[in-house]
Structure 1
Amino acid sequence: MATEPATLDPAGVLGDQESLDALDAEIARVRDREERLALRRLHRVGYFRFRWTNGEFAELFAKVFLAEPRRPSTLARLEARREAQYAGRRARDARRKAILGGFVVAQCRHKPDVHGELVPDIREWLLSHRSPEVGARNVEALSGFLADPEFKGLVAPPANTKKARRERTHRLILLGAWVLARREGLKRLRELVADELARFLEQGQRVERHKALLKDVLDQA
């Protein structure tokens, strides 16, 4: 299984969306071409001269086309590429948000006044979710941190269980999503990102990789 390099090319990270858009356009073009080609072939062999049920067609297709191994079509290969690329993009997006969430936790832990200033906006943003139920669940997930910057569910290393690690990561991602959504509109957050984010990243491991992941945020700071 391929692994990501120790450092990421910032242009590659920030170009993910453009790359996906281009791949989507190519998939749409190939799908349209293949559908038109399939219709011409069906016309040619007389398919439309008869009435077929879905079951009959599925049985015929299985007997003729699936009886022996066949090479994946161009369309299938493109769709597989897109799925793999999108999964990679989602993973990077989650890492970005988790890192930013950790940044918020660190700032609030060491500066209680910052916690007091940011919490009302965090709570309001969480509750602004288009689904009130989801918004309420997100507030509940962060309730410990909203009440106390020393909340053990974020400050302490996660317990050695998948559930605890998953919950901690979910909380960090929520906070990171808030940073991305509000970093330009909230003056105090904008100041923190400008003054402290680069220093925070330099204290951890994989500094260059994390700076590349957050290049757009650092550049706007």
Structure 2
Amino acid sequence: MSAVPRTAPLRVLLADDEPLVRAGLAGILGTDDSVRVVAEVSSGEETLAAVRANRPDVVLLDVRMGPMSGLDTLAEIRRTTGSPSCLMVTTFGEDEYVAEAIRLGADGFVLKSGDPRELLLAVHAAAEGGAYFSPAVSRRLLQTGMGTRFIARQHARERFERLTPREQEVLALVGDGLSNAEIARRLHLAEGTVKVHVTSILRTTGARNRVEAALIAAQAAAW
């Protein structure tokens, strides 16, 4: 089964309490004709209202936005407004925030100082059901051991090896940030079959979501 092509632009909401950062993010997103910024807000409270009003596909959240933090905002979005994809915008030195955002169900992380192309890759991956880490964030998680707060590295390989060879292939692609449709095309499978594999992977590994599954893939590969 092939994926239905998207005809409408991706709807993105920007939430950051620094006007220059918002302008920079909006400028990067504006270079992609398939993306439309539907709202720019500066607080967690405004974010929640804007999510309800605009129904975005992807929300970009500053981790340290005040007075209601990006983490608090993420938790409230997950609790009250359905499940738009949420990407956290972060900087180096904020490992504890990254770890907590994983626990709260963030769909990925983008560095403010990173390559602008990473932002567009992240938005598209999240909108299609994938998870995305800026490469520097992935390395940081592995080097500092912060990712192991949720998935102990020494167990990652064991969990990976419980999977069938096909599930291992699927999980590796989940770790690369691919959506179910993209994995289906890569492996020449029906998208429904990929969904079944992902469900089995989550159940077998104990991962609560695709982000945790992606961490298992990264940690197993680095073992």
Q: Structures share a fold, TM > 0.5?
A: no
Q: Greater strand percent: which structure? A: 2
Give TM-score, length-normalised by structure 1.
0.28
Highest CA radius of gyration, 1 or 2? 1
| Greater share of residues in helix | 1
What is the TM-score normalised by the length of structure 2?
0.28
Higher relative CO (Cα under 8 Å, sequence separation at least 6) belongs to 1
